[in-house]
Structures are given as structure tokens and as C-alpha cells.
């Protein structure tokens, strides 16, 4: 399970960085989204990979390793909402920039 998660994080990070370096703004937005998904998976993986573990309920805790860690889940949920708002804002900026300059290149120049 850990190797699959590590490969998924690596592929998402590599794809996100490659798309961020592209000249078109829509590709940059997709790259930022992929990179945020990779960071979300990384944060979630840092909280231990427990399958079918209950959340922390009650006042008696025998061992902390038997329960899921709620902090990474809360952080990822917050990051998902922030990345959704950031993507929406970037799409609005993309549409405004395309309307003003007439192109969707990052530097505003068609070039080669």
C-alpha cells in the first residue's frame, strides 16, 4: 500500500511540475491543481496508514496507534476547500487575461 501511495504522489508531483513549466495558462492551472492533490496525499499519508481504524471516540485511550489521527484529515479537508477557491480565482484571472491580451500564454506573447 505504501509503495502505491508513494508512486501516486511522485507521479502527481512530476506531472504538476511539468505542467507548471508549460507556456499556456490553462496548463499552469492544471499543474497547480495536480500539485495540490499530491500535497494533500502527502499530508494524509503522514498521519499513518490505518485501514478500518476507528476515530478517536471516548475518554479512555489504551494505545494511540489503534486510532486514526484526525489532524491530517482536517488539514486535507481545509486544503481541498482552499485549492478549489484558488482554482476558481485563477480561472477568472485566466478569462480576464485572455479577453485583454487575446492570448492564453503566460507571458502574454505568442512567440515560438
Q: Where are the domains of the chain?
A: 2-50+66-101
Determine if residue 52 is left, alpha or beta; phi over 0 gives left, psi from -120 to 50 gives alpha, anything else beta.
left
Domain 2-50+66-101 has CATH 3.90.105: no
Most confident range (mean pLDDT) of 53-57, 78-82, 94-98, 107-111 is 78-82
Task: Say what the pLDDT of residue 55 is.
Answer: 64
User: How confident is the model at residue 34, as a pLDDT?
Assistant: 94
For 17-56, write each residue's pLDDT tens digit.
999 999 888 899 999 999 999 999 998 888 766 666 666 6
Amino acid at each position: 500500500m505504501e509503495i502505491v501511495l508513494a508512486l501516486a504522489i511522485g507521479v502527481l508531483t512530476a506531472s504538476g511540475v511539468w505542467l507548471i513549466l508549460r507556456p499556456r495558462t490553462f496548463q499552469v492551472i492544471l499543474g497547480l491543481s495536480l500539485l495540490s492533490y499530491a500535497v494533500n496525499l502527502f499530508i494524509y499519508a503522514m498521519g499513518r496508514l490505518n485501514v478500518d481504524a476507528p476515530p478517536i471516540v471516548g475518554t479512555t485511550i489504551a494505545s494511540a496507534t489503534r486510532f486514526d489521527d484526525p489532524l491530517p484529515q482536517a488539514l486535507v479537508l481545509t486544503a481541498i476547500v482552499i485549492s478549489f477557491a484558488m482554482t476558481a480565482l485563477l480561472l477568472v484571472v485566466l478569462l480576464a487575461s485572455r479577453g485583454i491580451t487575446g492570448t492564453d500564454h503566460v507571458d502574454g506573447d505568442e512567440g515560438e
